[in-house]
Amino acid sequence: MSTLTATPETRGADPGRNVLEARNLVKSYGHVVALDGVDFELRAGEILAVVGDNGAGKSTLIKTLTGAVVPDSGEILLDGQPVHFKGPLDARHRGIEAVYQDLAVAPALDIPSNLFLGRELLSLGLLGSVFRRLDKRRMREEAERAMAELKFRLPSIASRVENLSGGQRQGVAVARAAVFARKLVIMDEPTAALGVRETGQVLELIRNIRDRGLPVVLISHNMPNVFELADRIFIMRLGRRAAVVSPKTHTMADVVAIMTGAVKVEAG
Ligand SMILES: Nc1ncnc2c1ncn2[C@@H]1O[C@H](COP(=O)(O)OP(=O)(O)OP(=O)(O)O)[C@@H](O)[C@H]1O
């Protein structure tokens, strides 16, 4: 099992290299074409924001990349190799972790138990018997190390998650993804329910994850957040890739104009 103490496989990778790529993805729901031939690429070491109006196809795109939805056609490549995810576990096993808006944390458990939820560390039982038990000490040490490495401050690692603020809880969910992701992390609106200060904490955490070498895909409706964090912005409109732009060369008004179709661009 990989934990945060393991180096992400994408760390130090050639920054121009595509870690994740999709070609001509199509997905329809009945007569609704959610993805209409989308090309996508996530480069090593970047935060790529995915933006678009409601119904533009952002969630469907992300779901195909995390194995939650199987596309009707098209190709997905991880590190240049074609992959066919049969479900989210499949994508996880290949090093792709996702964080969704609806927090999947267990409020009554402490932070280490949440970080390792479903992937608990076990130790050999008495006299090395086959009966294994939770290795709470190692989970606590790993959790402390992970939080320190990600520079995420928490009152105490032993706190139950129900006693944390919304931002801290979301931080635990985001950190959990970073702990297990070997290739990349995908986040769907990770700051949607948070106040300004709490959002700041989570944004800093996301930046630290990128700085550790894990590329991040971030879906967000919050343009200031997108401009604060993203290295590139992938703009969707009506199930298509409208453009990919840099926050250094384009303004928020430019991005909104492309999203809404007020300005047409050659697909970037
Ligand atoms: N399970 C589904 N069944 C039927 N239609 C769906 C399903 N999921 C998505 N759609 C439709 O596909 C289109 C794209 O939806 P999607 O959720 O991917 O867009 P989005 O950009 O994420 O929107 P939002 O910002 O509102 O979440 C929409 O027209 C939506 O109604």
Q: Which domains are assigned to the chain? A: 18-260 (3.40.50.300)
pLDDT band at 159 (very low <50, low <70, confident <90, very high): confident
Contact (CB, 8 A) for 189 and 217: no
What is the 52 CA–ligand 1 centroid distance (Å)?
Answer: 12
Query: What's the pLDDT at 131?
Result: 62
Query: What's the pLDDT at 266?
Result: 60
Model confidence over 17-26: pLDDT tens digits?
A: 999 999 999 9
CA distance 123 to 227: 45
Model confidence over 241-262: pLDDT tens digits?
A: 999 999 999 999 999 999 999 9
Higher pLDDT, 78 or 173: 78
Say what the ipTM of the complex is. 0.97
Q: Is the pLDDT of residue 204 over 70?
A: yes
What is the 51 CA–ligand 1 centroid distance (Å)?
Answer: 14
What is the 32 CA–ligand 1 centroid distance (Å)?
Answer: 9
Choosing from 25, 28, 29, 38 the residue with most ligand 1 atoms within 8 A of its CB, the one to mutate for a pocket test is 29
CA distance 227 to 75: 29
Contact (CB, 8 A) for 66 and 96: yes
What is the 57 CA–ligand 1 centroid distance (Å)?
Answer: 6
Residues with CB under 6 A from ligand 1: 29, 32, 34, 52, 54-60
CA distance 172 to 153: 10
